[in-house]
Amino acid sequence: MILTSQESAWRLRKTDMIKIFVCGDVMTGRGVDQILVHQSDPVLHEGYMKDARGYVEIAERLNGPIPRSVDPAYIWGDALDELKRMGPDLRLINLETSVTRSDDYWKDKGIHYRMHPENIDCITAAKIDVCSLANNHVLDWGYAGLKETLETLRRARIRSVGAGIDLKEAEAPVIMEMKGKGRVVVFAFGSPTSGVPLGWGASEQRPGVNWLKDFSDDTIERIRKKVKEAKQERDIVVASVHWGSNWGYDIPQGKIHFAHQLIDEAGVDIIHGHSSHHVKGIEVFHDKLILYGCGDFLNDYEGIGGDEYYRGDLGLMYFASMDPWTGKLVELQMIPTRIEHFKVNRTSRDDALWLANTLNREGERIGTGVKLDEDNLLTLSWHYIPR
3-state helix, strand, coil in the chain (%, to 5): 30, 30, 40
Residue 178: HSE in the Cβ half-sphere, 13 Å Cα cutoff: 23
Quick: pLDDT tens for 128-185.
Answer: 999 999 999 999 999 999 999 999 999 999 999 999 999 999 999 999 999 999 999 9
What pLDDT does 383 receive?
A: 85
Quick: pLDDT tens for 280-329.
Answer: 999 999 999 999 999 999 999 999 988 899 999 999 999 999 999 999 99
What pLDDT does 13 receive?
A: 63
* Residue 1 banded pLDDT, cuts 50, 70, 90: very low
| Residue 386 clears pLDDT 70, i.e. is over it | no
| Residue 6 clears pLDDT 70, i.e. is over it | no
Query: Which ranges in the chain belong to alpha helices (H)?
Result: 5-13, 30-35, 53-63, 79-86, 121-124, 142-155, 167-171, 217-230, 253-264, 349-363
Residues in the chain, overall count: 387
| φ/ψ bin of 200: left (φ > 0), alpha (ψ from -120 to 50), beta (otherwise) | alpha
What pLDDT does 385 receive?
A: 63
Pick the more confident residue, 383 or 79: 79
The domain segmentation of the chain, as residue ranges, is 5-382
| Residue 231 clears pLDDT 60, i.e. is over it | yes
Phi then psi for residue 386, to 5 deg, are -60, 145
DSSP 129: -
Quick: pLDDT tens for 178-224.
Answer: 999 999 999 999 999 999 998 999 999 999 999 999 999 999 999 99
Mean pLDDT of 233-240: 97
Quick: pLDDT tens for 68-91.
Answer: 999 999 999 999 999 999 999 999
CATH of the domain spanning 5-382, picked from 3.50.30.20, 3.60.21.10, 2.60.40.2550, 3.40.50.920: 3.60.21.10
